[in-house]
C-alpha cells in the first residue's frame, strides 16, 4: 500500500483471496483509497464498464479495441471470477478488473477527468417507490460522473425499464452537465450484455442513451 497526498492507494497485491482468479482482480475497500492516476494517464483511451457483471459486454469491448484500457467494475466477486476466466479464454490483455462498489469508485477512487467513456448498462431499476433511494442515477451521482469523465467524455446508459430510462434521461438533461450524443456509441453496434441479449430474445427492447460531457457554467456573483 502506498500513500498519496495523505490518502491511500491500494495496489493489486494488497488483498488476494483464496481463489486462483483473485490474483487477477484488484480488491478495493475503504473510503479513502485512490486508483493510481498515473496508470490511467498512461493510456490513450480509458473505458469503464460500471457494474460489469460476468463481463460479456466488457470482454467484447476489450476484444474490439485492444489498444484501449478497459476497466471492469462490480461488487460481486463471483461474477468477476467468471470474467477473469472469460478473459483467459478470449486472450484479452487490456482489461483491469476491479472489485468495488459503483458509488465508491466514482465518488472517491477515480481521479478527475480520467475516463473517456463510462458504461452503465441495465442496472437494477428498483421500480417500487419505497426502493427508489437505491437507484444509482441521482443528481449527485451525475455530478460525480462529470468529474471523472474527460473533456467531451461520454456517459452511456441503458435500461429495459422504460420509466427508469425516461427518469435518467430527465436527470441528465436537467443537470446542465451533459448533452445527448447518440453518435458517440455508434461504434458499439453488435456488442450486447447478457441482460440485453436475454431481453431481446424475449422480444423486449433495451433503451440506450449516450451523453457528452460539457463544461460547467461559470458561477457569477452579482445583483
Q: Which residues are annotated as a binding site for substrate?
A: 128, 160
How far CA 125 is from CA of 46, 104, 139, 159, 220, in Å, comes to: 26, 19, 16, 8, 37
Q: What is the gyration radius of the CA atoms in the chain, in angstroms?
A: 18
Q: Is 161 one of the annotated active-site residues of the chain?
A: no
Which residues fall in the annotated binding site for S-adenosyl-L-methionine? 49, 74, 101, 124
C-alpha neighbours within 13 Å on the C-beta side of residue 33:
19
Cell of 29: 475497500
119 forms beta bridges with 49, 156
The catalytic residue among 112, 124, 140, 187 is: 124
**Spacing of C-alpha 15 from chain mean position:** 22
CA dist., res. 41 & res. 46, Å (int): 9
**Spacing of C-alpha 65 from chain mean position:** 17
CA dist., res. 17 & res. 159, Å (int): 33
Burial class (CB in 10 A: 0-12, 13-18, 19+), 13: exposed
Please report, to the nearest 10 degrees, the dihedral formed by the alpha carbons of residues 109, 92, 208, 131 taken in order: -50
Would you name the residues annotated as active-site residues?
A: 124
Amino acid at each position: 500500500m502506498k500513500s498519496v497526498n495523505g490518502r491511500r492507494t491500494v495496489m493489486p497485491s494488497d488483498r488476494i483471496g483464496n481463489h486462483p482468479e483473485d490474483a487477477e482482480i484488484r480488491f478495493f475497500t475503504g473510503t479513502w483509497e485512490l486508483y493510481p492516476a498515473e496508470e490511467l494517464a498512461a493510456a490513450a483511451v480509458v473505458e469503464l464498464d460500471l457494474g460489469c457483471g460476468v463481463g460479456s459486454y466488457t470482454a467484447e469491448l476489450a476484444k474490439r479495441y485492444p489498444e484501449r484500457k478497459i476497466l471492469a467494475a462490480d461488487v460481486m466477486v463471483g461474477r468477476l471470477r467468471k470474467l477473469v476466466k472469460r478473459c483467459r479464454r478470449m486472450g484479452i490483455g487490456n482489461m483491469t478488473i476491479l472489485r468495488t462498489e459503483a458509488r465508491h469508485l466514482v465518488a472517491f477512487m477515480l481521479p478527475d477527468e480520467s475516463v473517456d467513456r463510462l458504461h452503465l448498462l441495465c442496472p437494477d431499476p428498483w421500480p417500487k417507490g419505497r426502493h427508489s433511494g437505491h437507484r444509482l442515477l441521482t443528481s449527485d451521482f451525475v455530478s460525480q460522473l462529470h468529474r471523472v469523465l474527460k473533456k467531451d467524455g461520454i456517459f452511456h446508459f441503458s435500461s429495459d425499464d422504460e420509466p427508469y430510462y425516461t427518469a435518467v434521461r430527465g436527470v441528465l438533461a436537467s443537470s446542465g452537465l451533459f448533452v445527448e450524443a447518440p453518435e458517440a456509441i455508434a461504434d458499439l453496434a453488435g456488442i450486447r450484455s447478457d441482460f440485453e441479449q436475454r431481453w431481446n430474445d424475449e422480444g423486449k427492447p433495451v433503451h440506450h442513451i449516450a451523453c457528452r460531457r460539457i463544461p460547467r457554467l461559470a458561477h457569477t456573483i452579482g445583483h
